[in-house]
Amino acid sequence: MNKIQAIVFFGIILIGAITSYFILFNKDASPDPATTTPAAASSQPAANKAQSDKDQNQQAATKSKADKTMAALKNAAQKPLVKKTPPKAPAPAKPAGGFTSEKALMDALAKAVQDKNTELFFELSGQNTLSASAKARLTALLKREDLKIDPQQALSAIGRSQNSTRWALRLLTSSGEVIEILTDLDKDAKGTWKVLKIRPPLAMKKSMAAASSSNPANSTGTPIKTGALTGSDMEDSELPDAMMVAYAFSKAVINRDIKTARALTDPERLNNEKLAALLIALEEGEFRLKTDKPLVITLSRDDLTWAITRVESSKEKSEFGLEMSTDQKGRWTIAGLTFSKLISLTAMAAGGGDIAYTPIHKNPQGGDSLVLYFEFDNEQVSARTRKQLAIVAAILGEDKKRKLHINGHADAKGEDNYNVALSKRRTSAVRNALIELGVAADQIVTQAFGETMPLKPNFKSDGSDNPTGRAQNRRTEIYLDF
């Protein structure tokens, strides 16, 4: 017997019980003929009629109730059974055995932020991961109603060092601004992951980012505030560490945010030509930061850190090196760049052809110079060169008082006077392109040298033609007088 049949069966029994009750009740209420007096006997027909009417009314009422009960039982039998699911118990804040993966721990932190559950967030973070002032700032931040987890990329693994890995928890404001909370994780002896340190977003210090009135932007142009670049109200322990500076710098050069990139470098040790050359190589190869842990710290000391920034494009993977040191105030800055592998890949991607590709070389008079190349007997600015000049124009735009020197050169084919005129036309073409890109004419100084200052030999040792050498001599060199 199934549930529906049981309901119908017991319903019929219930109806029978109700009917029997009313019949018995009416029988007990009828007068006993043996005890009826003569006086009462004379009124017996009237009484019997009244009793009969009462019995009929009660039977009609009983039938009505029985009909209603049967209809209700029939309706109940026809309705589908709904199985009630007991409510699920809330998941524990932390697994009994701890988090066995760094992603699981970061997911739990992100969920706490999404739910505006600051108590759970700090429970997962641990007691010693934030200073009191940083915790107060972060609490106020997490309670903001206009903040939500970035639906496109809530979490990203930034990098790794010998002792930890760093993640970014990405938040979005109602205006589309991205705010990143940086989190350092480590695995203990039991193989479970824990939080070492939380770095809340902080304002950039004016002395470090006077040029950074606009925030760095991501690939879509959305402003980004990262962990911290320093703040006037910070404790010493909250100064940005080397990985934080490396991350901010790497994002800035990928996004051509020259102001931020320049603000994070040591101008005494890293010149603008080298910074521009890195920007050019990244632009040329259409590189972006590697999705998973783009930063690797290879050496870490109190005053010196080496890092590798890993980049990728749709075709290639490459990297560039960062040398970082501390200034007199204990702040980390970018002091050196190494990107020969990046340039080599970009040069190969450009193909041999008739135009060389080495965007920077050592100047015999000292320092570095940017190099732009031309086809044989041609002064036209190529699309590639125009992209490179756009970066140079952006650097010049930082200070209208700065000067730029353009020196024009040619290979040894043709007469001397012709090559001087050709190199002059090349400097004029570059100058005009820069003016079109917004550089003031009085910021540009040009000079033509013809074939007198080759970078490579125009002829081989046996006197035969050297096409590869000549390709590198058809050039203009740019010196940024900063």
pLDDT at 353: 47
**pLDDT surpassing 80 at residue 89:** no
Average pLDDT on 154-177 reads 91
pLDDT-wise least confident of 7-16, 38-47, 146-155, 234-243: 38-47
Least confident of 61-65, 149-153, 260-264: 61-65
**Could you report the per-residue pLDDT of 450-470, keeping only the tens digit for each?**
999 888 888 988 888 888 888
User: What is residue 40's predicted lDDT score, i.e. its pLDDT?
Assistant: 44
- Provide the pLDDT for residue 54: 58
**SS3 assignment, position 350:** helix
Which of 8-17, 78-87, 154-163 tops mean pLDDT?
Answer: 154-163
User: Is the pLDDT assigned to residue 276 strictly greater than 90?
Assistant: no
* pLDDT top residue among 382 and 326: 326
Q: Find the DSSP H helices in 397-466.
A: 416-436
Most confident of 80-84, 137-141, 308-312: 308-312
Q: Per-residue confidence at 348, pLDDT binned at 50, 70, 90?
A: low
Does the pLDDT at position 59 exceed 80? no
Chain centroid, CA 354 distance in Å: 41
The one-letter amino acid code at 101 reads: S
Q: Of the candidates 240, 264, 242, which has an alpha carbon nearest to the alpha carbon of residue 253? A: 264
Is the confidence at residue 238, as pLDDT, over 70? no
pLDDT-derived band of residue 433, with 50, 70 and 90 as boundaries?
A: very high
Integer Cα distance of 422 and 274 in angstroms: 27
Lowest-confidence range among 69-78, 137-146, 191-200, 339-348?
A: 69-78
Burial (CB count within 10 angstroms: exposed 0-12, middle 13-18, buried 19+), residue 357? buried
Is the CB of residue 159 less than 8 Å from the CB of residue 166?
A: yes
